Amino acid sequence: MIPMPKMTVLMAVYNGERYLKECMDSVISQTFKDFEFLIIDDGSTDSTSSIIRSYSDNRIRVIRNAVNLSQVASLNIGLDHAQGEYIARIDADDAMLPDRLKIQIDFLKKRKDLALCGSYGEAIDERGGHIANTKLPVRNEEIAATALFGGFVTIHSAFMFRKKSVADIGKYNEVFSFAEDYKLVMDLLLSGYRVNNIPKVLVRYRFHDDRIGIRDSKPQIARAVVALRDFLQMFTGSFSKEDKDLLFNLLMNAESLKKSYWDKPPARDELKRILGLSGQMLSGMSAYFKFGVKERYFAYRVFYNRLLNFAYQALFIEKSSSVELYKQCLKNFLFIMNRPKLYAYPAAFSFCGRKNR
């Protein structure tokens, strides 16, 4: 009897000829060897199939869809056929660093409490040139707090998860095509599973004109917004629709640091109301996830640091009502102790009064 592989590397590809060989080479050359490489060819019409056939590695297994379905549908087909206990994702235009699989499987074996782990990533351009290294929230509670803003919490090509955990929540939600990775993380969290990111760059993810996140950015954003509202609903269920909309508007603007929010800001009393709602939401989230004291601390720190940076950019706008938000953040966390140059001067400048320009 042939033993089952410990891991399945899962890739769905549609007309991926441009970067496919680079991706496949990065998988085949991994230092961890006990895996099957399951490729779902989603009805490609270019040379994708011939590139895959050019490899003789017996770990490669291919399922070809008769017609193009979608990435999320193809990934669920892959999960149905995957033999590994662990699933490592990779997109056909991205690449793994050589130790990626070994580092992640060792991490998950040690952390039995985790359903999924991701990692930092290196953003690259069409030619593979370095753009930037992407740092992400690491702890489960930091990921949950960042998710409140609809923030970037994971890289799909860096996912490694326990197959059983994802099967238990119904696999990828196909209604959320283009945002299925974000929705998967939200569903895992809300189902009581824990998620971490390893603070190391383990994948290279590519920006190019035909990348799903660029080509289909509008439907991706729209579905991510729905996923975020579903997530927030669990902690704001008792809020009125008006209160939910006020809070959601603040969170979305804070995530993108939109200065235009302060052009016609909420009145001072309304902003105080929104801040009260934020506190209730945080308390609800902490209770829902049963955060301990340390977890609660890290979640609150992430949340108020994001709001503090949002308030900071508006402090020098004349008659800015961001001062209320600024004071509330400092009241909850004394960031001023750790970052005096960034926060002490604007605080003094705001509270002591300013001359009209």
84-95 confidence digits (pLDDT tens): 999 999 999 999
What pLDDT band is residue 111 in, cutting at 50, 70 and 90?
very high
Q: Would you kindly state where each structural domain of the chain is located, as residue ranges?
A: 7-221, 238-351
Cα–Cα distance measured from residue 154 to residue 182, given in angstroms and rounded to the nearest whole number: 8
Beta strand residue intervals within the chain, DSSP E: 7-13, 35-41, 60-64, 86-89, 95-96, 114-124, 130-134, 160-162, 194-206
CB environment 104-136: b (16+ within 10 A), e (fewer): bbebbeeeeebbbbbbbbbebeeeeeeeeebeb
Cα–Cα distance measured from residue 348 to residue 267, given in angstroms and rounded to the nearest whole number: 22
Return the higher-pLDDT residue of 202 and 5: 202
CB 232 within 8 A of CB 186: no
Say how many residues make up the chain.
357
**DSSP codes, 34-96:** -EEEEEEE-S--SSHHHHHHT---TTEEEEE-SS---HHHHHHHHHHH---SEEEE--TT-EE
The confidence score (pLDDT) of residue 55 equals 97
Phi, psi of 159 (to 5 degrees): -65, 135
Cα–Cα distance measured from residue 253 to residue 260, given in angstroms and rounded to the nearest whole number: 9
What pLDDT digit, counting tens, does each position of 114-153 carry?
999 999 999 999 988 999 999 999 999 999 999 999 888 9
For the cut 90, the answer to whether the pLDDT of residue 32 exceeds it is: yes
The confidence score (pLDDT) of residue 265 equals 80
Residue 286 neighbours by CB under 8 Å, 6+ apart: 295, 296, 299
Return the higher-pLDDT residue of 339 and 43: 43
For the cut 80, the answer to whether the pLDDT of residue 346 exceeds it is: no
The confidence score (pLDDT) of residue 75 equals 98
DSSP state of 198: E
CB 257 within 8 A of CB 310: yes
Structure tokens at 33: 């060897």
Residue 240 neighbours by CB under 8 Å, 6+ apart: none
Percentage with pLDDT > 90 across the chain? 66
For the chain, helix (H) and strand (E) counts, in that order, are 14, 9
Highest mean pLDDT among 268-272, 288-292, 353-357: 288-292
DSSP state of 260: G
Looking at domain 7-221, its CATH class is alpha beta
What pLDDT digit, counting tens, does each position of 60-78 carry?
999 999 999 999 999 999 9
Phi, psi of 134 (to 5 degrees): -100, 115
Q: Kindly state the average pLDDT of the residues 151-161.
A: 94
* Prediction pTM value: 0.89
